[in-house]
Amino acid sequence: RFSLSSCVQYAVIDFLWYRKNANGSGEDSYGFDSVDQWGRPFPDPERFPSSAGGEGFKHVADKVHAMGLKFGIHLMNGISTQAVNASTPILDVDTGKAYVEDGRQWTASDIGLTHRTCAWMSNGFMSVNTDAGAGRAFLRSLYRQYADWGVDFVKLDCIFGTDYSPKEIMAVSETLKELERPVILSISPGTEVTPALAENITQHVDMYRITGDDWDSWKDVRPHFDVARSFADANKITGLRGRSWPDLDMLPFGRLTDAGVNQGPHRSTNLTFDEQLTQMVLWSMAKSPLMYGGDLRHLNDDTFDLITHPTLLKINHHTKNNMEFGYIHSERTSERNEHSGRSDLTNNGGTVLGLATCNDKNTGGWHSSSKDHICRGFGIQNDNASFCMSKAKLLPTSDGVTMSGVEDQAKFHLVGIDTNDGCLDASVSPMFSTCEQHSKQVWELTENGQLKSSYSGLCATMKSSKEGESETTGARAWTATGDKGEIYLAFFNLDTASRKIAVRVPDLEKVAGQKLA
């Protein structure tokens, strides 16, 4: 991935640079990672020959820096499962020897939290006990090594959104501040992220994802309009004291591979040029970091001109008061194209489950009813309507083990009633997956009537699908003010039909707070 900026540009090596390309190796495979004697990942020597002899990414970083760029890497939160199982020692950076505390040598198996593995890579990584001195020593060892390689940017995954771990976010942030070189901290995933959730971490990070993965399909791009609007309304997209920026994810333009593919085959983006233009303009108006996710070696003129458009980069970097503009007039000028692939979201009469911080007023209202059901009322047409789930009873896990339905009266697994959707899962959306023995599927009902996840500490919300329906069709507009007082206005047609879109100048003046000539 490559970040686009008029000031600083970063070349970032993405996902799984330490994993060997071999038969059986995949996203959640075990035993294929390159891990050093101190339990730290290092680049796969076959793919990165310059890393041999303990050099890591130093030579790559030197090349990138010589081009006038900054260098970054993608990381998984925590510690490698391989290191934990091998009980590798922990490096004490102050002594250069194994970490010793309370008269004994500590190892990876002492600090790995086996009950908190990464929800979508459970065989690869798990959280670190940052309350332990050895856990903090491991983080110092890990990030000191990256700084020694010349790393300027780290994208830390499996620590935010549905994998929310505020204690680890703060621990990593504090560790980076101790380094002799500045390192940008970006966190993800962004699934189920809300402005309220972001409020808790913005002072500790430079970038944070606010959506799920964005690939080259209109159904991935379209929800970003609602998310960007909510963060603009919460005054989040201007950053915090010039830092901490909501991240709408990469720009999947040009030549790409499919998700999860290591080495091709390559193909052109599935987005039309109009859809790419729509995405680039929204990302710029919403002041998202601009991360290009295509193959820079095969960059056509249209893609190059779009991602380096001087006006869009100026809007992205040098505007304020960026927001969705609601005072627009729009009418269709053609019939909808029912075969365009842009299907409208519909109300199927059901319910929508989500996650929020537990101080969100929408997380209350859950209660225990008869038959071991956990229910919550909602209003569609009838105040007595309710949504219920059942506490799990002797459900088989994905590995064939049988788990008890209720270990105690406080914590439990939940399944749909008369459905085979699996267990309520705090790490996925929609929020049901195959039942397994993992804290991501463990819940408790609090005294305040909240359904709290033991994995993320977030609470479940619920509303009718009509209430939760995304209004991502029709016309939208955004406005921003430039550094010389100029007003930028962008129109978006999210419909499958052509539209005329217009604004009244007095409405624009009202929002801009100034008279327009």
pLDDT tens figures, 30-82? 999 999 999 999 999 999 999 999 999 999 999 999 999 999 999 999 999 99
Q: Has residue 141 got a pLDDT over 70?
A: yes
Task: Place 349 in a pLDDT band, splitting at 50, 70 and 90.
Answer: very low
Closest-CA residue to 478 (of 454, 504, 511): 511
Q: Judge if 105 and 164 occupy the same domain.
A: yes
The number of beta carbons lying within 10 Å of the beta carbon of residue 288 is 24
Q: Judge if 363 and 482 occupy the same domain.
A: no
Contact between residue 491 and residue 477 where contact means Cβ atoms under 8 Å apart: yes
What is the domain extent for residue 484?
328-334+468-512
- Decide which of 404 and 372 is more confident: 372
Please report the pLDDT score of residue 385 as a whole number: 58
Q: Judge if 177 and 229 occupy the same domain.
A: yes
- Total domain count, the chain: 3
Task: Place 254 in a pLDDT band, splitting at 50, 70 and 90.
Answer: very high
Residue 247 CA to residue 293 CA, distance in Å, equals 14
Please report the pLDDT score of residue 351 as a whole number: 59
Q: Which tens digits make up the pLDDT trace of 180-213? A: 999 999 999 988 888 988 988 989 999 999 998 8
Provide the H-helix boundaries in 308-389. Answer: 310-317
Please report the pLDDT score of residue 428 as a whole number: 66
Q: Judge if 312 and 457 occupy the same domain.
A: no
Q: Has residue 430 been placed in a domain?
A: yes
Contact between residue 258 and residue 216 where contact means Cβ atoms under 8 Å apart: no
Q: Has residue 136 got a pLDDT over 70?
A: yes
Q: Has residue 487 been placed in a domain?
A: yes
Q: Judge if 138 and 273 occupy the same domain.
A: yes
* Cis status, amide bond into 252, omega within 30 of 0: no
- Decide which of 463 and 80 is more confident: 80
Q: Judge if 414 and 474 occupy the same domain.
A: no
Please report the pLDDT score of residue 407 as a whole number: 42
Q: Judge if 315 and 373 occupy the same domain.
A: no
The length of the chain is 517
Please report the pLDDT score of residue 515 as a whole number: 85
Closest-CA residue to 494 (of 472, 479, 478): 472
Contact between residue 183 and residue 153 where contact means Cβ atoms under 8 Å apart: yes
Residue 154 is part of a domain; what is its CATH number?
3.20.20.70
Please give the average per-residue pLDDT across 417-433, as a whole number.
Answer: 74
Q: Has residue 344 got a pLDDT over 60?
A: no
Q: Judge if 290 and 361 occupy the same domain.
A: no
Q: Judge if 420 and 475 occupy the same domain.
A: no
Contact between residue 345 and residue 467 where contact means Cβ atoms under 8 Å apart: no
**Tokens linked to 454:** 């033991």
Q: Judge if 137 and 201 occupy the same domain.
A: yes
For a pLDDT cut of 70, what percent of the chain falls above it? 86
Q: Which of 87-91, 193-197, 238-242, 399-403 has the highest mean pLDDT?
A: 87-91
Please report the pLDDT score of residue 405 as a whole number: 40
Please report the pLDDT score of residue 403 as a whole number: 39
Q: Has residue 153 been placed in a domain?
A: yes
For a pLDDT cut of 90, what percent of the chain falls above it? 54
Please report the pLDDT score of residue 402 as a whole number: 35
Q: Judge if 309 and 426 occupy the same domain.
A: no
Please report the pLDDT score of residue 171 as a whole number: 97
Q: Has residue 486 got a pLDDT over 50?
A: yes
Residues with Cβ within 8 Å of 445's Cβ and at least 6 positions away in sequence, in order, are: 366, 367, 368, 374, 410, 451, 452
Please report the pLDDT score of residue 375 as a whole number: 87
Please report the pLDDT score of residue 23 as a whole number: 86
Task: Place 96 in a pLDDT band, splitting at 50, 70 and 90.
Answer: very high
Q: Has residue 17 been placed in a domain?
A: yes
Please report the pLDDT score of residue 278 as a whole number: 96
Q: Judge if 130 and 237 occupy the same domain.
A: yes
Q: Has residue 399 been placed in a domain?
A: no
Please report the pLDDT score of residue 362 as a whole number: 82
Please report the pLDDT score of residue 3 as a whole number: 60
Q: Has residue 159 been placed in a domain?
A: yes
Please report the pLDDT score of residue 404 as a whole number: 41
**Strand 184-187 and strand 207-209: pairing?**
parallel
List, as one string, the DSSP characters of 424-486.
E-TTSSSSEE---SSGGG-EEE-TTS-EEETTT--EEEEEETTTT----SSEEEEEEEETTS-
- Decide which of 235 and 132 is more confident: 132
SS (H, E, C) 154-179: EEEECCCHHHCCHHHHHHHHHHHHCC
Residue 443 CA to residue 453 CA, distance in Å, equals 5
Q: Has residue 34 been placed in a domain?
A: yes
**Tokens linked to 358:** 């537990």
pTM (2 decimals)?
Answer: 0.82
Q: Has residue 422 been placed in a domain?
A: yes
List, as one string, the DSSP characters of 476-501.
EEEEEEETTS-EEEEEEE-SSS-EEE
SS (H, E, C) 95-116: CCEECEECCEECEHHHHEEEEE
